[in-house]
Amino acid sequence: METTRIGKTIGTLAWALATLVLYAACATAAPLTFDVRSENRTVLIPGPGDGTIQIQVVAPDAPEVLTDRPRLNLALVIDRSGSMSEARKLDFVKTAAHQLVDMMGTDDILSIVAYDHHVQIPWPSRPVGRNRAKLHRIIAGLYPGGATFLSGGLEEGYRQAKCGQRRGTLNRVLLLSDGLANRGVTSRGELRERAAVMSEKGISVSTFGVGNHFDEELMTMVAGGGGGNYRYLGDPERIVAALTSEFHTASRTSASEVEIIIRLKRDCRFGSVVGRDWRRDGDSYIIRLGDLSAGERRTVFANLNVAGERPGLREVGEVALRYRDPVTSKVVTPSAQAVSLELVRDERIHREGFDRSVQEKKAVAESSVLVQEAARLADQGKKEEAKEMLGKAVNGLAAAPASPAVRAEMDHANRYKDSLDEMEDMNSEPAKAAQKAIKYRAYETLQQR
């Protein structure tokens, strides 16, 4: 049985590697495109003046004939705490690390950091070169033991990636953990801010949560702050495919440090962003999207408030895009797009002004935020409050135009609401796995890839 499973895993690896050979290089980055649409082209007056804009950023597909890709600079940060011995988690991480070494080019830069209650640097940052055999021996020599000094591993991973950072390199920390941060800095908010600083320095952070006992909110926040990806791996056997996918994504990066910048006219106010963090910088509101790979897209919904008492077309502001070309390292700033809304008194004109496509996507995104909050409440044993939150999600979806995506999200919220009664012990393994899967689905929906 064990031999069969390992054989299948090796077969999957071979297929993934063969696929990767076809896509490992990407051409000099083609420009990103972005589109701005209003949920409703009108704002009803008198009234609260609220409006929503959808901003969609798209990275072009890589050309069929691929020529070059950014030089990779990766820091692999491995949790080797005692719990990693369970379910052969560390064995699968090591298999994935071996695979990563084999996929990297000789000019690519790699560092390996291992942490339990201490942080070790088995392989400091340097080009892979002719060192594959040595790297394989180092990886094979990793063994579990100790607590989880996650912040120490993250900081050392950043330092190693910083050492390897060169002009034109694509820089990323890959952080794997199966547990809770219980040494050093453990605050989610502080770790997120540290990851954000790393991202601002040109080094993104992707996180991989292994099993069902890690802190997914921490891992999600670190990846969000670090401009990278978060992946939930309930089955340790998925580690290999996930790390392969991350390499594939990094290899095909079309743009790094992607930011949406919203500037509003006087008397127009910024409200919020659905399911994403944002910050204010002077008169600009900045939404960080991290790195985009060929063919990826990100969709953002920003809520605004438009003041005014007189009917007519009102210029609200503009939306701009800023990113770094991973091949040339140059900052690219495409032309900004103006945003205008029409103030109207006629309710019929206002009703007819809705964009059904934007309404549908926004409703699904807002539902995902409510599902995430419901899952947090359920984790705390507040099942009735969680059900109320899910009821709000369903009601919001019911008010949106019907579509397959809206119906699927409504069915999902209703099924989750019904399943809460069956989860008698929220600390049981099945309940933990179900909760993490629910939150991961909501996370992926909000990423709008």
pLDDT, tens digit, 9 for 90 and up, residues 285-325? 999 999 999 999 999 999 999 988 899 999 999 999 999 99
Q: What is the pLDDT of residue 103?
A: 94
Please give the radius of gyration of the chain, using alpha carbons only, rounded to the nearest integer. 23
Per the CB < 8 A criterion, the answer to whether 82 and 231 are in contact is no
Calculate the alpha carbon distances from 433 to 104, 148, 215 in Å.
33, 21, 12
Give residue for tokens 């796995």.
Answer: 433
Tens-digit pLDDT profile for residues 28-77: 567 999 999 999 999 999 999 999 999 999 999 875 444 577 899 999 99
Burial class (CB in 10 A: 0-12, 13-18, 19+), 386: buried
Structural domain spans, the chain: 23-65+255-351, 71-251, 356-447
Residue 449: its pLDDT value, please? 58
pLDDT of residue 180: 86
- The burial of 93, by beta-carbon neighbours within 10 Å (0-12 exposed, 13-18 middle, 19 or more buried), is given as buried
pLDDT value at residue 61? 86
DSSP state of 354: B
**The tokens of 58 are what?**
């798209």
Instruction: Please give the sequence-ordered ranges of beta strands (E in DSSP) within 178-283, or none if there are none.
Output: 203-210, 227-233, 253-264, 268-273, 279-281
Instruction: Name the H helices within 342-420.
Output: 347-351, 356-379, 383-398, 404-419
Q: Among candidates 239, 244, 243, 242, which has minimal Cα distance to 90?
A: 239
Identify the bridge partners of residue 204 per DSSP, sorted by sequence position: 172
Cβ neighbours of residue 159 under 8 Å, at least 6 residues apart?
none
Residues of the chain with pLDDT under 70: 1-29, 63-67, 449
The helix/strand/coil state of 273 is strand
CATH superfamily of 71-251: von Willebrand factor, type A domain (3.40.50.410)
d(CA 331, CA 350): 40
Burial class (CB in 10 A: 0-12, 13-18, 19+), 251: buried
Report the pLDDT value the prediction gives residue 151, as an integer from 0 to 100: 95
Extract the tokens encoding 400.
């949106």
* Tokens 């969609």 belong to residue: 56
Of the candidates 396, 395, 387, 339, the residue with the CA atom closest to the CA atom of residue 365: 396
Q: Which residues, at least 6 apart from 235, have a Cβ–Cβ distance to it below 8 Å?
A: none
Local structure of 315: helix, strand or coil: strand
| Rounded-to-integer distance, Cα 165 and Cα 153, Å | 18
Report the pLDDT value the prediction gives residue 446, as an integer from 0 to 100.
92
Q: Which two tokens stand for residue 216?
A: 């997914």
**Helical segments of 53-184, H only:** 89-103, 132-140, 150-164
Whole-angstrom distance, CA of residue 412 vs CA of residue 23: 34
Rounded-to-integer distance, Cα 317 and Cα 140, Å? 56
Joined together, the tokens standing for residue 298 give: 């990100």
Three-class DSSP category at 63: coil
SS3 377: helix
Residue carrying the six token digits 């008397």:
267
Size of the chain in residues: 449
- Are 273 and 287 contacting, i.e. CB atoms less than 8 angstroms apart? yes
- Distance, CA of 165 to CA of 169 (rounded, Å): 6
- Please answer whether residues 172 and 160 qualify as being in contact, where contact means their C-beta atoms are separated by less than 8 angstroms: no
The structure's pTM equals 0.87
**Cα(205)–Cα(203) distance, rounded to whole angstroms?**
7
Fold observed for domain 23-65+255-351? Immunoglobulin-like (2.60.40)
The predicted structure's pLDDT at residue 8 = 46
